[in-house]
């Protein structure tokens, strides 16, 4: 039974988050404020929003459940791949993109290639967020369901969570997201460390938990030296490592910084912090084996994502429960708000805008973005209500789309002078087609579908970009014979 003080804390915390988000939203005066916070955020806020956006439901609920089931090798996508993504963004992408002074990541594809590439990559980016945001909404529903003792049915809880996040995100945009992220990161860090101390003490300490995991074979990271196992491991690793680089939520954090230096090092710092801190929920979740093995066994059969919240409710004092659910809600809401805003801004700026009136003013465009946020939230909620995938799988699958359809043109456009529109279009077409065909016809083949699509995207980017240059000598010889 959940104590009433925990429930009241959750209610007050949600009210405070909404209040901060709406108050910050008063600083939104145009689309640049709404999309990238007017490029005004200091180092500590950018670091916090990078960390808090990645530290979501899959980190607190999905990663521990996955680790308990499969061990360390099963979480190579997240946190290993996802944290490396942020480090790579900071070192190799942040400065270049910041200096281009863009509103969205889709703008890069138009400026470097052409409007067709812009639309195709933007649609791929928007599609990738469907599962990503849905995972956060499902997690909010799970929390409300647990806290209400089942009184709030999961579908109702999901709709309630979606309405709360949509409210302050739709009004305040990136300004609200950034400042609520800063508050939420503080609660995540303090709350998780306190819970780790309480639960770890009951489990016998870090050494006891690690020793149990080692003896159970859960600390094995690298796969067996077999070709198929290694290919699938590599495919999983790059899905989030590369696939989450061409994402609007990452881009927004890069470009919302006050200076290019802040943009680079705040992103790297946020990624490093996320990597180390993501192991805290894994430690907490696995501690359940030593504290209440029956609880673990019962939920492994039904839903492993319930193990950690049920452990906290059953074996910790009220203060620890308040801290845990405060941290959990912070993690979910910070990620949900950022990932709800990102595809809405991309769709409005890079897809919808070309079908709107050319004389549309900035204020009208701002309200159009807000309307798209509401529409995308409705779509995400319907997807969440009808999805049977776990939180970890929903997040991992989301980035396959951008891995095969947007990453290669981004890298080639930034670092290869010969990359052109023809190469980008062929890369997108063959990358997506290869991935989708294998997902439909051979999802368990030797090479994972997203890895095959990734290699196809690279191959056709090179072929397409070099084809005009290969034709030039033949054209010159033909002209000389005339």
Q: How far is CA 339 from CA 71, 109, 410, 422, 425, in A?
A: 28, 20, 20, 31, 26
Distance CA 146, CA 216 (A): 29
Distance CA 352, CA 462 (A): 30
How do residues 113-135 score in pLDDT, each as one tens digit? Answer: 999 999 999 999 998 888 778 88
Name the nearest CA neighbour of 27 among 180, 181, 172, 170.
Answer: 172
Question: 20 vs 71, which has greater pLDDT?
Answer: 71
The CB density around residue 216, as the number of other CB atoms within 10 Å, is 12
Termini Cα distance of the chain: 90
Least confident of 75-79, 158-162, 388-392: 388-392
Alpha helix (H) residue ranges in 303-445 = 307-315, 318-350, 362-385, 391-405, 407-415, 421-441
- Residue 157 · residue 144 · CB < 8 Å: yes
Average pLDDT over residues 187-213: 88
Q: Angle CA(7)–CA(8)–CA(11) in degrees, nearest 5?
A: 90
Name the nearest CA neighbour of 180 among 168, 189, 194.
Answer: 168
- Residue 287 · residue 280 · CB < 8 Å: no
Alpha helix (H) residue ranges in 148-292 = 154-203, 206-215, 227-243, 248-255, 260-277, 279-291
273's tokens: 């912090």
How do residues 338-381 score in pLDDT, each as one tens digit? Answer: 778 888 888 988 888 888 766 677 778 888 888 898 898 898 88
Name the nearest CA neighbour of 401 among 372, 423, 433.
Answer: 433
Q: Any idea which residue has 């670092």 for tokens?
A: 415
The band of 210, judged by pLDDT with boundaries at 50, 70 and 90, is: very high
Distance CA 479, CA 123 (A): 42
How do residues 82-103 score in pLDDT, each as one tens digit? Answer: 999 999 999 999 999 999 988 8
The CB density around residue 459, as the number of other CB atoms within 10 Å, is 16
How do residues 225-258 score in pLDDT, each as one tens digit? Answer: 999 999 999 999 999 999 999 998 888 888 888 9
Rounded (to 5) percent helix, strand, coil in the chain: 85, 0, 15
Distance CA 342, CA 348 (A): 10
pLDDT at 5: 75
Q: Write the Ramachandran bin of 37: left for phi over 0, alpha for psi from -120 to 50, otherwise beta.
A: left
Q: Where are the beta strands (DSSP E) in 275-341?
A: none
Average pLDDT over residues 219-223: 93
The DSSP secondary-structure symbol of 41 reads B
- Residue 195 · residue 328 · CB < 8 Å: no
Residues ≥6 apart with Cβ < 8 Å to 331: 52, 55, 56, 57, 59, 60, 184, 188
The band of 384, judged by pLDDT with boundaries at 50, 70 and 90, is: confident
What pairs with residue 41 in β-bridges? Answer: 257
Distance CA 135, CA 9 (A): 24
pTM reported for the whole predicted model: 0.85
- Concatenating the DSSP letter of every residue in 354-377 gives GGS-TT--HHHHHHHHHHHHHHHH
Name the nearest CA neighbour of 14 among 195, 170, 163.
Answer: 163
The band of 38, judged by pLDDT with boundaries at 50, 70 and 90, is: low
Distance CA 399, CA 450 (A): 9
């Amino acid at each position: 039974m959940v104590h009433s003080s925990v429930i009241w804390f959750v209610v007050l915390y949600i009210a405070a988050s909404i209040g901060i988000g709406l108050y910050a939203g008063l600083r939104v005066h145009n689309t640049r404020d709404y999309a990238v916070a007017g490029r005004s955020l200091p180092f500590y806020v950018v670091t916090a929003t990078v960390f808090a956006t990645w530290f979501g439901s899959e980190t607190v609920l999905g990663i521990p459940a996955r680790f308990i089931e499969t061990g360390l090798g099963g979480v190579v996508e997240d946190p290993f791949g996802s944290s490396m993504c942020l480090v790579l963004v900071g070192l190799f992408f942040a400065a270049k993109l910041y200096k281009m002074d863009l509103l969205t990541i889709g703008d890069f594809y138009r400026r470097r290639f052409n409007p067709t590439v812009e639309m195709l990559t933007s649609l791929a980016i928007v599609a990738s967020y469907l599962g990503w945001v849905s995972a956060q909404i499902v997690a909010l529903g799970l929390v409300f369901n647990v806290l209400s003792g089942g009184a709030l049915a999961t579908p109702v809880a999901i709709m309630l969570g979606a309405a709360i996040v949509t409210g302050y995100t739709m009004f305040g945009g990136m300004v609200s997201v950034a400042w609520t992220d800063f508050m939420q990161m503080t609660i995540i860090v303090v709350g998780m460390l306190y819970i780790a101390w309480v639960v770890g003490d009951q489990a016998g300490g870090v050494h006891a938990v690690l020793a149990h995991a080692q003896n159970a074979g859960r600390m094995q990271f690298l796969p067996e030296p077999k070709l198929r196992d290694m290919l699938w491991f590599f495919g999983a690793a790059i899905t989030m490592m590369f696939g989450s680089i061409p994402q609007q939520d990452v881009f927004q954090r890069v470009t919302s910084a006050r200076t290019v230096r802040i943009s680079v090092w705040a992103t790297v710092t946020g990624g490093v912090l996320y990597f180390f801190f993501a192991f805290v929920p894994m430690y907490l979740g696995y501690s359940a084996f030593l504290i209440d093995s029956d609880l673990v066994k019962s939920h492994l059969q039904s839903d492993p994502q319930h193990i950690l919240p049920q452990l906290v409710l059953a074996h910790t004092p009220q203060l620890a429960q308040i801290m845990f659910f405060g941290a959990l809600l912070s993690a979910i809401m910070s990620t949900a708000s950022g990932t709800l805003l990102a595809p809405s801004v991309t769709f409005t700026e890079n897809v919808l805008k070309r079908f709107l009136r050319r004389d549309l003013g900035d204020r009208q465009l701002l309200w159009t973005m807000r309307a798209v946020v509401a529409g995308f939230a409705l779509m995400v909620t319907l997807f969440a209500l009808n999805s049977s995938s776990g939180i970890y799988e929903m997040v991992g699958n989301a980035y396959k789309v951008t891995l095969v359809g947007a990453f290669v043109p981004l890298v080639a456009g930034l670092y290869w002078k010969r990359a052109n529109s023809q190469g980008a279009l062929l890369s997108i077409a063959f990358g997506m087609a290869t991935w989708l065909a294998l997902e439909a016809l051979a999802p368990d083949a030797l090479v994972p579908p997203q890895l095959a699509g990734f290699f196809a995207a690279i191959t056709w980017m090179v072929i397409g970009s070099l084809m005009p240059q290969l034709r030039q000598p033949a054209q010159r010889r033909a002209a000389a014979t005339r």
